[in-house]
Amino acid sequence: MSSVMPQPHPLSNHRPQTLAQKLIARAARRSHVAVGEVVTCDVDLAMFHDSSGPRRLKPMLDELGAQIWDTNKVVLVLDHYVPAKDADAQQIVQIARDTARQWKLPHVIDSEGICHVVLPERGHLKPGMFCVGGDSHSPTGGAFACYMFGIGATEMLGVCVTGQIWVQVPRTLRMHWAGRLQAGVSAKDMMLHMVGRFGMNGAQYQAVEFSGSAVQALCMAERMTLSNMSAEMGAQAGLIAADETTLNHLRGIGVAPEQLAGAEQWFTDEDADYEQWDFDASQLHPQVAAPHSPANTRDVGEFADVAPNIAYIGACTGAKLEDLRAAASVLKGHRVAAGVQLLVAPASAREQAQATQEGVMQILLDAGATVLPNSCGACAGYGATFPEGATVISTTARNFKGRMGPASVNVYLSSPYTVAASALRGRISDAREVLA
């Protein structure tokens, strides 16, 4: 990875720019860019996983007789088909491992967690970078003031060969959250509320930026949930300006100070052109999205008659360390209700180890949890998928019909607080009542 944080092109004359415009302008080696303009950008980092990577890219690269432009700027994560449960999965995983050796990739993260969590966990993302990922939830990187978005295999092929990609400069939709969240309400609730309000195409191909005192008060894990689920609004990127929380987090995971020089420049100028929507975090109730869309969101109280038989705490939007802590705060000293199966798939091995050290995992085990591998699991429709007719309360980002099991499975989306409270009471419940 680059040893120095990306710097912008010297400004010949200042023009107010959004964070999205600043990041794209740097990658395009420009002083500024205009909304709607098509520019070619240098890619600082490309991430792909066992599903989107070698098994699709290797045949195309071989046919072209081409090589990866810079292996040090590529990260391969094995997270979708691990642990392999059948011969097809084993073949996909083996192709990924064999190709990684053949290409001499220096950055391979094998069966240690979900790509959107382990990538920043290793310090690969820093403010000012322009990145692409072979997964639709790649906008997670925006929490670190990176311009990061998901692309398909053909686009990734172009990036791998040239180190560049074109983008059309998006307009910015700014989601401004004033106030502060109540205890038992989280970033997942904020995001479900926004998806419910704007719909799954409400920000199609645009840049969503999250701002305001409620966002500034969030830890990095919670910010990652916001940026991640900007994809559920159809956004290309989900951005948060760099601040002391960003820098303290990156220093804490070992990123050197010189790599963070100039981070204060990655924000939206107040006189820039953007569209703003205002929210009051203090008035937000826990949210639940009914089958079969994240946009089917209403307040938790409207689902009190729903009795899930599976409670799933997993995925990049619901099983990070902060999420495991949230669930444990609800379940401490209790057992889940009879007839409810609690499944926990920590988002990374490192975060699970920290949760174990803190006693969080023991609380979940004492409550009756079954712990699953550090992988995408049921969210990717692989591994611990749900049985015919199941009613599931889940921390995943999506609940499309047939995604996590047969079409008869009904999945309700919510925060780790709500999933834990629902497992405890045997019906969809407001965690604030338990915490009180």
Provide the CA 212 distance to its chain's centre, in angstroms.
Answer: 20
- What pLDDT, in 10s, does the model give residues 154-163? 999 999 999 9
How far is it, in rounded angstroms, from Cα 178 to Cα 134? Answer: 33
Cα–Cα distance for residue pair 164/27, rounded to 1 Å: 9
pLDDT at 73 over 90: yes
Query: Helix %, strand %, coil % for the chain, to 5?
Result: 40, 20, 45
Return the pLDDT at 143.
98
- Residue 6: pLDDT band (50, 70, 90) is low
**Of 45, 48, 44, nearest to 61 (Cα)?**
48
From the centroid of its chain, how far is CA 244? 21
Q: Is the pLDDT of residue 11 over 70?
A: no
pLDDT for residue 2: 43
Cα 56 to Cα 105, 204, 306, 387, distances in angstroms: 16, 26, 41, 30
Do the beta carbons of residue 109 and residue 81 sit within 8 Å?
no
pLDDT for residue 115: 98
**Banded model confidence at residue 381, pLDDT cuts 50, 70, 90:** confident
Q: In the prediction, which pLDDT does 382 show?
A: 80
- Structural tokens at position 5: 């944080």
Compute the distance between CA of residue 67 and CA of residue 61 in angstroms, rounded to an integer: 7
Local structure of residue 285 (DSSP, 8 states): P
How sure is the predictor about 193, in pLDDT bands with cuts at 50, 70 and 90?
A: very high
pLDDT of residue 8: 55
Please state the length of the chain: 436
User: pLDDT band at residue 9, thresholds of 50, 70 and 90?
Assistant: low
* Residue ranges in 65-199 assigned as alpha helix (H): 87-103, 115-121, 153-162, 187-198
Angle 108-114-117 from CA coordinates, rounded to 5°: 95
Are 51 and 92 within 8 A, CB to CB? yes
Q: Encode pLDDT of 325-368 as tens digits.
A: 999 999 999 999 999 999 999 999 999 999 999 999 999 999 99
Residues 77 and 115: beta-carbon distance below 8 Å: yes
Looking at residue 7, its pLDDT comes to 56
**Mean of pLDDT over the chain:** 95
- H or E element at residue 410: strand 410-413
Q: Which two tokens stand for residue 153?
A: 């295999």
The torsion angles phi and psi of 367, rounded to 5 degrees, stand at -80, -10
Closest by CA position to 279, among listed 212, 363, 229, 200: 212
Question: Does residue 334 have a cis peptide bond before it, meaning omega lies within 30 degrees of 0?
Answer: no
SS3 state of residue 426: coil
As given in the structure block, the two tokens for residue 49 are 């996983």
CB 141 within 8 A of CB 148: yes
Where does residue 325 fall: left (phi above 0), alpha (psi -120 to 50 degrees), or beta otherwise?
A: alpha
In angstroms, the CA 131 to CA 248 distance is: 22
pTM: 0.95
CA distances from 220 to 35, 252, 382 (A): 28, 12, 27
Instruction: Give percent above pLDDT 70 in the chain.
Output: 97
Which residues 6+ apart lie within 8 Å of 403 measured at CB? Answer: 381, 411
Cα distance between residue 221 and residue 218, in whole Å: 8
Domains for the chain: give ranges and CATH numbers: 19-256+271-280 (3.30.499.10), 286-435 (3.30.499.10)
For residues 409-416, average pLDDT = 98
Distance CA 44, CA 28 (A): 11
Mean pLDDT of 18-24: 98
Mean pLDDT, range 285-291, rounded to an integer: 98
What is the spatial distance between Cα 172 and Cα 132, in angstroms, rounded to a whole number?
19
pLDDT > 80? residue 384? no
